[in-house]
Structure 1
Amino acid sequence: MHLKSYLSLLIILCCVSQADAQLNAQVTGDAIDQGNNCYTITKDQEFQVGGVWYNNPIDFDTDFTIFYQNNFGFRDFDGADGMALVFKDNPTPILGDPGGGLGYSGITPSLTIEFDTFQNTDFGDPVGDHISIMRNGNPDHNSGDNLGGPVLANGTNQNIEDGIAHEVRIEWDAFTNTLSVFFDCLLRLTFTADVKNTIFSGDDTVFFGFVGSTGGNTNIHEVCFNRVSFVDNLQLDDEVICENGAVQVDASIPSGFTYSWTPTNGVSDPNSPNPVLSPAATTIYTVTISDVCGETTTEELTVTVKPFITTEPVFNPVPPICQGDSLNPLPTTSMDGITGTWSPELNNSITTTYTFMPLTSECAPETTLVIEVIPSEIPIFTPVDPVCPGEFLADLPITSNNGITGTWTPGINNMVTTVYTFTPDLGQGCATLTTLEILITDPDIPTFNPIDPICVGETLEELPTTSNEGITGSWSPALNNRVTTFYSFEPNPGQCASDNVSLEIQVIPISQLSIDIDLSSEAFSENQVAVINVFGGTGAYEFQLNNGDWVEENTFSQLQGCEEYEIRVREISGCSNIAIENFRVLDYPKFFTPNGDSRNDSWNIECLKDQVGARISIYDRYGKLLASINPSRLGWDGTYNGAFMPTNDYWFRVEYLNKEGQPKVFTSNFTLKR
């Protein structure tokens, strides 16, 4: 088993020349602090080196004894390498070489007690696990630095790598300058020399620590520090109990083997390390502790028995506080000198009963104290409606709705939104500050639906006196249906509305329109186009052809036939007459069917029937004149010299006057179908 589980160590204060000193340890290298002053110096791994050093000085002019335990692991045949106790001239943690150097090789000046578990023949190691005393960090037994040994650590067994914690005691006798090494309670090695002067050059502050290492072979190495003679290994605190009371004490120490308490009166078990003590009167107890090697130590403690106080501790009452006010800590000592603690924690939000619990040693009863917390009273005021910038703002009331008087800050400001703070006058209980915000709002801008333009003299409805936002007011000037006018809206007072609002009503004069029709395409073309020109008015017109839809485009295309077209024009606003004009376009039939059915039996250009001077000549494909006709008379019947002409295309030539009265000639062809 590990040494840590073998003993749990307790380092306590003491004692001789360095009384009340504490041992302060610092690990280095591969060492691990296990707690309870036990350390893993190396793990069971190759080439580990670790140590633990103490900064407590030792003076070799004074006797001292060091007790500790070593566990060298459980590997015997292939285990290595061991541990050492090292004295050196400073407290700085340091490590020497691993392997056969045991972690101390090279540390100088030094005095080392080594426990070597591996035979390094080049160092003169004997067979078996051994102890030796070396100087100046030299592990070679063949050198002059070998001061004592080597000797077997166990006189009857060469192996100490057995997984067991072994007791080690190092004694220094300053009078005889003798260093003694005990292993498992037996003296194994001594060395006599003036260590202080010959090794440490007269230095009276030498420091110690434990080191260890592995090499190619391994073992776990552990050390538990037990005690040193100049540090008290047990320090029992005196106890105070109340009459008929009891207290349990713990006198156990790592090296403790047997315990004996005197006197035995009031002791639950005189041979226990942690008995319950219940004396009837104040008593001084002594405990004698023996370790496994027969070494003894004693310690005393006094158990004071106090009579029980029947009266409750007395405290001054705490005046009531307002909710949220600071609350000073309650005194931990009563007016009659009794100390203790309070619970629960102070609470400045609600009335609370606090309990005072005297310390056990006071032998006094508990008591309570009530601290009243008065709820805060918040002044209440009627909210102030928002106002417009610059609008009159009355002073705020200095008495709240619930009767609290006070003052407001800052002064009233009717230009910007402001938060005002009300501070209650003194002497009104737990009245608190409160705030009131007065909004200074931007004026609302009234909006109205636009009014469509009207024609001069048209009836004009009265303008609405309430805006889309619900703002009421009046308009000026009076309505006028004769000329375009801007009207201004004046909001009624008290509405925080802008008065910079206007509305235009456009009054359009009545226009007298006339039109001219321009047939922009050639006569008889496939796409006859008419462009309507308008005179008079505003220029915003709409047009209607033959009672069709009104459109804003003044050009009409794809006109055909010889029927008469009617065009109408008006102002889009409706503020005008409707100008009307009729016109025709020139066109000719593309075929005829002279088959005697009285439908389409002859061919002519009826669009020219009003031109008595127009002449039409008809030819066959070879240019032979077949007929000459007048548009105002019957057309060609499809015969020549009384014979029916066959189905075919025929050509014509027409002589006519255009709309300007100028003579024109047009030629094209048509089809005769039978």
Structure 2
Amino acid sequence: MRVFVSCCLLLACVFGPAGASAQWSLVQGAVQEPSGCIRLTNTSQNQRGGAWHDCRLNLEADFDLEFTVNFGTTDADGADGIVFVLQPFGVGNNVIGSTGGSIGYENGPFNPSLAVEMDTWQNADVGDPWFDHIALTSDGSIFHNVEGPVQAHSMLSNIENGQDFPFRVVWESSTQTLEVYFDGDLRLTHTGNVVATFFGGDPLVHWGFVASTGGAVGNQQRFCLVGADYTTHPESVTAGPEGPWEVCLGDELVLTAEPLPPATSAVWADNGEAQLAVTQAGTYELIGTDNQGCPASGAVDVTDAPGPELELLVDPNLVVCGGTEAELAASAAPGATVAWDGVEGLTAVTTEPGIHEVVASIEGCQTALQVDVLFQAIPEVSFALQGEPVVGPLEVCSGEPLTLQALATEGGSPAWEVGNSPFLNVTSSGDYIASASINGCESEPQSIAVNVLPLPQGQLEATPPSLCWEGVGSVALDLEEDAFLDNWSLPAGTFNLDLAGPGTYTASLVGENGCENALSLNYPMLPPIATGLLDPDPLCENSATVLSITQPMDHISWNVGGTDNELYVVSSMGGGPFVATVTLGACTETDTAHVTWWPTPFVGSHPDSVVRCELEGPHEFIWPTQTSPAVGSWVWSVNGEPATAGYDAFAEGDYEVEVRDNATGCNATHNMNLEVWPSLTAAATPDDNLICMGDSTLARVEVFSIGGSDVDEIPFSVVWDTEGLSGMTTPVAGGEHFVTVTNACGSHVALAEVEEEYCGCHIWVPTAFTPDRDGVNEGFRIVSTCDWAEFSFKIFNRWGQQVWS
């Protein structure tokens, strides 16, 4: 096969009675494993191995052989298979055939033989199918010349998967049928005279397995014997005494197993013992072994013999009550002879007590039965109280013990009608009946009357029903008719029933009928009411506490006012006492608590916020004198640092002032915020210190904090003394310009100074000219120290008219 399935399942080999003592003869590479299983081949090439059981099979008897077979785990390269072989005695049990496709069977001394071939390799030259197959073959041939081939497993085409498969071979000699099962399914059947056809009439054959591998990788192939039901020596055990064997009806026949040569031992199959008690007809199997441990078998047939069918018509333990004569009777089969105490007859009358035997016989079968006769006197019943005989009627006070005993003569067993005992505890009035019996003989019932007298009664009452803690009450007795007080028993410390304390009160009473009774009352005192009120731990005066009644109460009242179970307490209420009056049921009590207040300091009057200018001094903390002394010492701190002698605050920030009693932890705190404002200085700086006459430049004002604070933390103003100037940056002309910077912490004046110079061209223009040709002021000339970039000249007359350009 070409589909590979790997599975490993190991089953222990289980041997039947034959396999337990007999052994296997191993051939070639076969090895017996510690489990008892036989490994025929290893996982290597050209291996072969065989195993032959030392005990032969006798085919004149049935056999049923059960095994598991394992063909290894390799499919594609695995080979070659296992063959189960039956071969005649004359060949021996130390033989095997060739390796490879011969599977250890072909080319061996197996002619004649009959074999079950389980082939896991397809050899096309011998007509093998493609699947792993099983076939019946003979005489050393692997050509499947008897039955098959068919697929070995009804569902699986490949059996080389490491699984232990059940393999079973069954032979039924009466029908000459051989059946082969694989994994529980019938795969092959052959019917025919196997002994004559294959073994020349010799029924004794060796049985075992051979296997091989060839040129392929090979498989580890193995088998385990699970069970073997077969015999080597049929009809070699019998029974004594010598047969034929008959058993009388109702009787038993004891048979002893006896071996016949070559068997050397014999037992019964039913019980595994040498003797068997047979009570009915049937076939009984025997098994045994020879001196080699090989099995022998046999059977005996037991038939029924007619019996006398004797039956008693009286009780086998016959008791005659109050009489002296007994009639004996029996029945038997027709034709049977019956005799009582040796006197023939089905019935007999006797006056003798003891054992009487009746014997019946017919055709050699005899049965005897016995009757034990007893003449029993009838017992009589009487009564006793504390060992003394009594007759009724009896009187007893209620509650007093009264145990009556019933007595009987003749050794009888007395018993009361109620209770089934000779003793009876009586608690109520009535007629009580008892009887006695012995050996089934009953007495006449007898009765005795008992009158139970009532006890004197009364009623003890206490007022109130329960005493409050350390309180008193009253106890009273109310007597019923015909009851009288004899005496009182009072608890210790109580002398007056109207001032009754806790304890047990007992009144002893006597009735007119003479009966006595005691009435008791346990007068309880309730424990103090548990309020759960406790003194709290000492508290600081600036705190508060709650006093609590923790247990349920019917009513609560506090001496400082309030009816709740909790009281809110502050130091102004003082240390107490705080008294709770509580009511529970009929009891009212008080419980008290005190509160200890520790002095709480004060920090004094400090502002919540302070502003300091940078040029001003620090804010100074001054500690006030405390009105109360500390339990320990008053310890001052600022922001967690000791400051007992006072504290100066310079830096801006939050300040927590605390004064604390270092013994109690009582403290007071104050939080203050210190804000530091900037003290300003300023600088006014022109972009140019020297400008041309008539020009301007920018003057820039810079404002600084003397202490490095943010100048914008608070508003400030900028004012110039030169008219028209404003802001932090402004155009200025030549000259001195003063600027004043002011905030809440003061002012500062800064100077911006700018110098001027002439920076333009000089032009000379005549004021008049006279072009009259007199040689004086004839021309008009404009002179400049600068080069003209552009020049224009126009002349107008007195009337404003342009006359030249």
Structures share a fold, TM > 0.5? no
- Where is the strand percentage greater, Structure 1 or Structure 2? 2
Larger Rg: 2
State the TM-score, normalizing by the size of structure 2: 0.30
State the TM-score, normalizing by the size of structure 1: 0.34
